[in-house]
Every structure is written in C-alpha cells, then in structure tokens.
Structure 1
Amino acid sequence: MDFGFADEDEAFRGEARRWLRAHLVGAYADAAGRGGPGSEHEAPRARREWERELGSGGWIGLGWSEAYGNRTATLTQQVVWAEEYARARAPGRMGHIGENLLAPTLLAYGDDAQKRRFLPPVARGEELWCQGYSEPDAGSDLAGVRTAAVRDGDVYRVTGQKIWTSLAAEADWCFVLARTDPRERRHRGLSFLLVAMDQPGRIEVRPIRQMSGTAEFNEVFFDGAVARAGHVVGAEGNGWRVAMGLLARERGVSTLVQQIGFAAELAEVVETAIRSGAVLDPVLHDQLVCQWAELKVMRWNALRTLGAAGDAGAPSVAKLLWGGWHQRLGELAMRVRGAAAALGPADWTAEAPYALDPMQRLFLFTRADTLYGGSDEIQRNIIAERVLGLPRVER
C-alpha cells in the first residue's frame, strides 16, 4: 500500500503551515503545546478564543458539506492538516468533541434541523461540547446507564449522574445517553439527547481531583435538566445505535494526530536516556527501539484503516495498540531517569506542593490509558464478538 501523499495534498500542507505560522502569535503562541491530555486545565481562555480563530480561517470541520460553512477537503488533506497542527504544537483543542464526535454523528443520524442548528456554531468555534456517557456504575459497560429522561410535553426532563466528563466546565452543550423507556433493559430503551449546559440549579459540574494534582475530568449531575424533544438524535429509543456509531467514528484522523504527540514524547524520553546514560543499558535500549518500531506500525495501521467506518474491529484494535504503547512509554520515562524520577521540582512551594514535570505527568496520566475510552477488556470483547464471531460474554 502506498502511504505517501499526492501533490495536491502537499500543496494543502503548505497552505496549512503558512496559516499556522501567521496565526500562532501572541496569547496563542503562549498557549502552544498546552491543553493536551493530562493538561486540559491549562490556558482555557486563550484556547477558547483559538477555536474562533480556527473557525474564521475555515479549519474546523474539513470535509463537511459547504452548507455548514466549511471548506472542502479530502480525507488525506484532513490528515495533512491534523499532522501540521500537531507539528506546530498548536494549543490543545477545546472543540475536538464537537468537531470529531458530535458532528460526524449528526451528519450520519441527525435530521436537517439538527444539522442546521448545531453544525455551523461548531464550525465557527463558537459552541463547545462534552460527552455524557460514563456513569459511576456504567463506565465501560455503557448499556448499564441509569440516567433517566422523562418526556414532559415538548421536552425531556433529564435526571442522573455522568462521570469522567472532559471539558464539562467549559462546554455549552452535552450529548447525553439516557434511558427514556424504564421498562427496557440494557441497550434497549436508550436515547441520544442534546442538552444545553447553561441550566443553573438543574446541572452541576464538580471537578475530579486526580493523583497528578490536576482536574481534567468532572462529575456532572442532572436534576430535571431540560432537553427539547427535537434534540433527540436518531429518534427515541435508538440511542444505542447512535452511541455505537459515534464510538466507531471516534478513532479516525484523530488517531494520527495523537501519534504526532506520541512521537514528540518518545523523542524526549530517548534524549533523556542519552543524557542519563540509560541508553547504554541493553534492556532499556531494546525497549526504546521497540517503542519506536511499534509507533511506526501504529501509523501504518491507522493509515490503512482510515475511513473504514464499517470495520467494527478497527477502532478497538487502534485503542488496544495505543493504550498499551503509551502506558509503556510512561513507564520508560521513569526508568531512564532512575531514582531522579521520584524527585519533585527544585522550585517546590507550599502553594504548589504537588507540581510535576512533563515526564512525571506522562507516567501518572498514562496509568489510565488502558481504562478510559473503553477498557482493554471491553475492546477485546468487541473484537471477539463482532469481528471473530465468538460466543458473547455472559453479563
């Protein structure tokens, strides 16, 4: 398979580089490299404004229909833009949930009114989204959600709790998987609702403090929150199909972007190993080489499966590959530093008693890589049942 890019893609790459160079200035330059996984709390104001900057430049929603205010772009050009964005170390996206999760779902399952209402503000960088899936008793087991949505005339009243919700404090909207038919069980009787977050007294967001000392995730409590009946995507009771369709689209171009960041982290770990002399240890040297080779394989696999929306196993394979790889990288980041990895920063203060350097944060954050977004066990079940046709696990 040819993994190269055509001439028109390289021309598009040049345009992307010029735009990023011209616009990554001032506060946006100060926010460069900030706001990614493990540091989503950083520079929120500049990153929110940066979404509008991207929208005005036509860089959000590449490949959508021009009816929603976007430029046309092929799938390979979307990859090019994502790669250049990562290489420029542009600020971590606050709009990625709306652009990469909600929008493809609306394009596939939403009605015309929903597309007209919600896609243009996402494309302009004006409205941010969060995802209301996991619950305290239904994390990877998504079919076990208990959040209820009761029809009340032209609206639904949503009551329940969601957890591990990224960007909940900043989001304007949340797409919520809720149970609209209490008589049904498991994946039946669920609906996919679009809920406005600005409902004081009906929606409460509580940050979850992690062992890294920061709070990238949140608990969200719904107490009779209102969702319009016209904001149910894919019809009432069809939420499981819509939710699964969203997850199938979750790991596409974004996987390739993620790998650019992985490559930068690996380069830093290698440089640390050279400075500390750990690279002379044959075991550590072998592990570093394996990490490099596996990252190459992940890229080729992502390119090979790009656009394979009908491949039920592709997203799960990708998640299994990068989750374990990134976790092993975090462990390597500590090993190559030896005992120094356990030391705190020299500028420790009582006001910041738990400050971490990037490699320490990498290690702690990657402990969750094989859990969030669907645990390794769940991914293996999906591959076994939906791809290999093995008997379903008893639940």
Structure 2
Amino acid sequence: MDFEDSAVEGKARAEARAFLDQHAELKRGDDRDWSRWGATTDPERAAEYRRRCREWQTTLYDNGWAGITWPKEWGGRGGTRTEQIIFGQEAARYDVTPGFIGAAQALVGPTLIKWGSEAQKERYVRPLLRGDEVWCQLFSEPGAGSDLSNLAARAVAADHPADGWVVDGQKVWTSSAQHADFGILLARTDPDVPKHHGISFFIVDMATPGIDVRPLIQAQGVAHFNEVFLDSVLVPAENLVGELGNGWKVARTTLGNESQMISGGGQANTFPNVLATARRVGRTDDPTVRQELARVWGNEAILKYLQLRLQSAIAHERWDQMLHGSLLKNAFTRALSHRTTLAVDLEGAEGMLWDDAEGGGFWQYQCLNQFAARIGGGTEEVHRNNLSEQALGLPREQRSDLDLPWSQTKK
C-alpha cells in the first residue's frame, strides 16, 4: 500500500483542487443543515436540493470533470479509477453534492457503456452525465432483496414481437423513482430455466402508462425510497440491454458499482463533530466515552487506509470491483452506525428531539438513516458471504435450487 501520491497522482490531485477551488466553497465546520442535502419534508427546500444537484452536475460536465472514468467519446474525462478516487477525496471537503443524480450515474452509466447498443449509448449516456435526465434502479422486489435473482416481475413478448415486451410486477426500495425520467429494470423473460438465466435487463421510460410510483415515508419523515407497480407496461424492443436472458450478467456490473458508490470515493472527517458533541455535553472525561471516541477515530482511520489500499491496488492492477466494493461498503456502514448511535446516546434526552435538537437533528437524521445505508446495495451478511466465498475460498452455502427452473422453486 502506498501512503504518498505518485507523481501522476499528485498531478491529478492538484488539478482536482484547482477546479474545486474555482467552482466550489469549502465546507463550514458548523454546517449541519441537513435540509440542504435533501433531508427535508419541505417541498420547496427539497426542490432546491434537486436544483443544486443538477446545477453542480452541469458544472462538472461543462468543465470536463463529469464521468471521470467514462470514455471521452461519451462525454467523460477518459481518466482512471485512481483519479476518480482522488477527486472524491478532495470533493469531500467542499460544499457540493451530485446527490441523487450522481448515484444514478454511478450505477447506470458504466452499465450502458459496457452493455448498451450504440443507439442506446448515443441516446442516453450524455443526457445522463450532464444531469438533464434522472434515472432510477428497478431491481429489488418484496420477495427478492438479498436473493435478487429470485425476482418475479415478468416480461412477456407483445402480441407483435417487434413492439417489444409487456411487463407486470412490483419493485420496492427504489431510490428517487418519483423524480426519475428513466429506469433500469430487471424482469424475468423465461421462467423455465434456472433463476439466474431467465432474467433480462431493460430501459424503461418512467412516464409509460401503467407505471405507478408510491413514495415510502421513512422514519425521518422523508421519502427517499419508493415502491413501483408495473401493470401491462409496454417496453419497446430496442430497450433491451445486452442479450435476452443475459440480464443477470449485465446487472452484476451495476451491483458492483453500487456497493462501491455507497461506501464513497472520499469521506469527510466526521470525528471532530462527534468530539464536539461529547465536549458540549461534558462527557470527555468519562473513560467509557473516551474509549468509544477512540473507536470512532479508529474506524475513520480504517476507512482512510482501506481507500488508500484500493487506490494502490488500482494503480498496480490488482483491483477487484466486487471484492473491494464489499470490503469498503461494510467498513463504511459499520463506522456510520457506530458514530451516529454514539452521538445520539451522548445527547441523552435531547437525542429524542428532532428540529429542536442542537444542530437541527443532524445526528438524529444520520442515526435513523444508517439502516438504509446498511441494507442498500446489499446487506452486510451478503457482502460477508461474497468476501468469504470469493476472497477466502470458503465453501459456498448449500443451495438446492440452483439448477431448478425458476418456475419450480419455492416462492
């Protein structure tokens, strides 16, 4: 693992800092207004957040910093993953966020670039990268979350095959579906083959008749997630991504990017905020509190050095998207869970307040949001299995349904 930037990495960091210094402001130490980051029930402030996201994405695109690893022919910077990590590390210090637009780009863009037809890439990639069109991911279902390949949404050929596919089913935990123009959809096109093989990957226009988006109000009072019902939704034949029945392989590209995206390319140092809370309530002399503060500091150090290890692995071509993504995702969510729970515990009775709490509910929001972060992009248990089987070579879980046609498996 390299602790210092190489000459190439140092140049990339200097360029990123120069751009950010010119187009953004450093975060203020007391900036804990979560409504500015979309965590608000006020429609006007939520709309302002989405406007800021689009505006920042346009700034990135217009200055050649959007899609750092995307090919130049599709509007990207044509850079390396190391440059992407470095930019994320630097951007974490500034008052900017690509927000819901950036999340969709991290998932959809690389998938379309790798698997999409030339016509699909020509139509969708640049508007996505610029932030002109918003996307969502229609994968999880009530009966297919951690076991995503068990999905039941069906896509049946239309009466005239040239017309495309008719989709029926239900999706859930879909981020930002209420704001999306398009979605990437997994649906079962052949129920009579093993469950991983009869799935296809589609692009769906979210304005298509038959799509019903219902926001899910979370404990924080906001609706980040949605359930989406598809009732005889017609998907044009040209919206099939990759080959028919090969959707699981296409989706693995998306899923590999998802776990890495959730863990973040760069994390702001939040330890000072936790320490400030302990000082405010007069608990810094408590030996138990001091021990827990040390854990917060240690968790952030672990994340920092895991990201350095990832940066080094990429530089030396030893990078594995799924394995490094699983490692980072679990480390990130465990650190998030510990520091936010500790901060709310330190506040005592005040921790039960929301808007009236110190910081306007900063810690309360993060503490409740940890559960979405821990589950989204695959649960901790799923990622542990991934690491144990693929990295450590441990035996796989015994499954009796792997070779059975999906139609014959237990539902």
The interval holding the TM-score normalised by the smaller chain is 0.7 to 0.9
Aligned to 1:18: 21
Q: Does the 8 Å contact 1:9/1:76 carry over to 2?
A: no
Mark the CA change 1:203 to 1:291 in structure 2 (over 3 Å): closer, same or farther: same
Q: How does 1:217-228 map to 2 (within 5 A)?
A: 217-228=225-236
**Deviations 1:40-87, CA, capped at 9 Å, x for gaps:** 956223433443333223322113211112333333332232233321
* Amino acid in structure 2 at the alignment position of 1:119: V
Q: Does the 8 Å contact 1:132/1:176 carry over to 2?
A: yes
Mark the CA change 1:356 to 1:364 in structure 2 (over 3 Å): closer, same or farther: farther
Unaligned runs of 5+ in 2: 28-32, 400-411
SS in 2 for 1:169: helix
How far apart are residue 379 of structure 1 and its match?
1.5
Give the whole-Å Cα distance in 2 for the aligned partners of 1:19 and 1:224: 49
Give the whole-Å Cα distance in 2 for the aligned partners of 1:304 and 1:37: 36
How far apart are residue 311 of structure 1 and its match?
5.2
How far apart are residue 23 of structure 1 and its match?
12
How far apart are residue 235 of structure 1 and its match?
0.7
Aligned to 1:35: 38
Give the whole-Å Cα distance in 1 for the aligned partners of 2:172 and 2:335: 25
1:135 to 141, 161, 169: 141
Give the whole-Å Cα distance in 2 for the aligned partners of 1:284 and 1:118: 51
Q: Does the 8 Å contact 1:162/1:220 carry over to 2?
A: yes
Q: How does 1:188-267 map to 2 (within 5 A)?
A: 188-199=197-208, 201-252=209-260, 255-257=263-265, 259-260=267-268, 263-264=269-270, 266-267=271-272
Q: How does 1:293-372 map to 2 (within 5 A)?
A: 293-306=298-311, 307=314, 310=320, 312-346=322-356, 357-372=361-376
Give the whole-Å Cα distance in 2 for the aligned partners of 1:257 and 1:36: 21
SS in 2 for 1:184: coil
Mark the CA change 1:334 to 1:113 in structure 2 (over 3 Å): closer, same or farther: same
Mark the CA change 1:176 to 1:37 in structure 2 (over 3 Å): closer, same or farther: farther
Mark the CA change 1:79 to 1:370 in structure 2 (over 3 Å): closer, same or farther: closer
Q: Does the 8 Å contact 1:53/1:125 carry over to 2?
A: no
Give the whole-Å Cα distance in 2 for the aligned partners of 1:57 and 1:12: 12
Give the whole-Å Cα distance in 1 for the aligned partners of 2:155 and 2:77: 37
Give the whole-Å Cα distance in 2 for the aligned partners of 1:163 and 1:16: 38
How far apart are residue 203 of structure 1 and its match?
0.8
Q: Does the 8 Å contact 1:150/1:157 carry over to 2?
A: yes
- Give the structure-2-normalised TM-score: 0.84
Q: Does the 8 Å contact 1:95/1:125 carry over to 2?
A: yes
**Deviations 1:240-284, CA, capped at 9 Å, x for gaps:** 111122212234476344522xx23x3212111011112211111
1:378 to 363, 379, 382: 382
Give the whole-Å Cα distance in 1 for the aligned partners of 2:335 and 2:57: 30
Give the whole-Å Cα distance in 2 for the aligned partners of 1:337 and 1:83: 30
SS in 2 for 1:130: strand
Aligned Cα root-mean-square deviation (Å): 2.9
**Deviations 1:139-185, CA, capped at 9 Å, x for gaps:** 11101111111122231111111111111011111101110112224
Mark the CA change 1:38 to 1:52 in structure 2 (over 3 Å): closer, same or farther: same
- Give the structure-1-normalised TM-score: 0.87
Give the whole-Å Cα distance in 1 for the aligned partners of 2:354 and 2:254: 41
Q: Does the 8 Å contact 1:97/1:129 carry over to 2?
A: no
SS in 2 for 1:94: helix
Give the whole-Å Cα distance in 2 for the aligned partners of 1:20 and 1:254: 25
* Amino acid in structure 1 at the alignment position of 2:17: G
* Amino acid in structure 2 at the alignment position of 1:20: H
Give the whole-Å Cα distance in 1 for the aligned partners of 2:135 and 2:40: 16
Give the whole-Å Cα distance in 1 for the aligned partners of 2:86 and 2:321: 23
Q: How does 1:69-218 map to 2 (within 5 A)?
A: 69-152=75-158, 153-154=161-162, 155-199=164-208, 201-218=209-226
Unaligned runs of 5+ in 1: 25-29, 348-354
SS in 2 for 1:283: helix
* Amino acid in structure 2 at the alignment position of 1:112: E
SS in 1 for 2:185: strand
How far apart are residue 122 of structure 1 and its match?
1.6
Give the whole-Å Cα distance in 1 for the aligned partners of 2:352 and 2:35: 27
* Amino acid in structure 2 at the alignment position of 1:17: L
SS in 2 for 1:191: strand
Give the whole-Å Cα distance in 1 for the aligned partners of 2:370 and 2:251: 25
Aligned to 1:283: 288
Give the whole-Å Cα distance in 1 for the aligned partners of 2:50 and 2:141: 25
Give the whole-Å Cα distance in 2 for the aligned partners of 1:53 and 1:2: 32
Aligned to 2:391: 387
**Deviations 1:107-141, CA, capped at 9 Å, x for gaps:** 22223222222211122221111111111111111
Q: Does the 8 Å contact 1:212/1:356 carry over to 2?
A: no
Aligned to 2:3: 3
Q: Does the 8 Å contact 2:257/2:321 carry over to 1?
A: no
Give the whole-Å Cα distance in 1 for the aligned partners of 2:175 and 2:136: 6
Structure 1 range deviating more: 188-197 or 86-95: 86-95
Give the whole-Å Cα distance in 2 for the aligned partners of 1:104 and 1:394: 33
Q: Does the 8 Å contact 1:156/1:229 carry over to 2?
A: yes
Q: Does the 8 Å contact 2:303/2:332 carry over to 1?
A: yes
* Amino acid in structure 1 at the alignment position of 2:151: V
Give the whole-Å Cα distance in 2 for the aligned partners of 1:195 and 1:244: 19
Aligned to 2:402: none
How far apart are residue 300 of structure 1 and its match?
1.6
